[in-house]
Amino acid sequence: MKIVMLGAPGAGKGTQARLISEKYGIPQISTGDIFRANIRDNTELGQRAKSYMDQGLLVPDQVTCDLVVDRIRRDDCAGGYILDGFPRTIPQAQALTKALSDHGSRIDYAIDVEVPDDNIVQRMSGRRACPKCGATFHIRYKMPQTEGVCDTCGSELIQREDDHAQTVQKRLDVYHSQTQPLIQYYREQGVLHTVDGTREMNTVFNDICAALEES
């Protein structure tokens, strides 16, 4: 069961990937984790990635793909895996398809968690965080007992820069131009399954499980 998670930032695909990982016993893999592990372990691929990052440059698609393929060839991925945050662009998807094909493998499912932009802006811009203990709240869905104050430690809550409405919209614009085309790419591969991400978390998860178990 080899899965790619698709969806806009804030759509909840990371949460769903975690739930899939827990239910089916397959690892959730993110490029951020792979980069950090390889740089920490000073691997050859980690050194290559770090040489670009130290210059403030994007890591080339092929290097990123090589890191991902190296990770998914490990023993814990024998029964499958979930890619969360990769691929992000058509060239990355093409590189991944070729690399998997070279090893006689392919992606089985691409799960698109679909949420309209307005919902995402509302979700993310309403988040509030405690800078001291890290607890998170929401002005509509998870309000603190006292407005603007952390329930856990009593510190004043803040809105992170990434959660400002204008910042969220910029991230969505990048998603639509660079990552959303992957939906059609995986549709043409015959592996796309779209779920309504606006519904309650467990309902979305049940829809995903149905797609994984029916096909």
- Active-site residues, by number, are 13, 88, 127, 160, 171
Closest CA to 26 of 61, 60, 1, 47: 1
Rounded Cα–Cα distance for residues 176 and 205 (Å):
24
Cβ proximity of 208 and 16 under 8 Å:
yes
- β-bridge partners, 137: 128
CA–CA distances in Å: residue 75 to residues 42, 112, 187: 21, 27, 29
First to last CA, the chain: 11
Rounded Cα–Cα distance for residues 14 and 124 (Å):
14
Alpha carbon 170 to its chain centroid, in Å, reads 17
Rounded Cα–Cα distance for residues 37 and 205 (Å):
29
Phi, psi of 58 (to 5 degrees): -70, 140
Rounded Cα–Cα distance for residues 26 and 138 (Å):
31
Quick one: which H or E segment has residue 82? Answer: strand 81-84
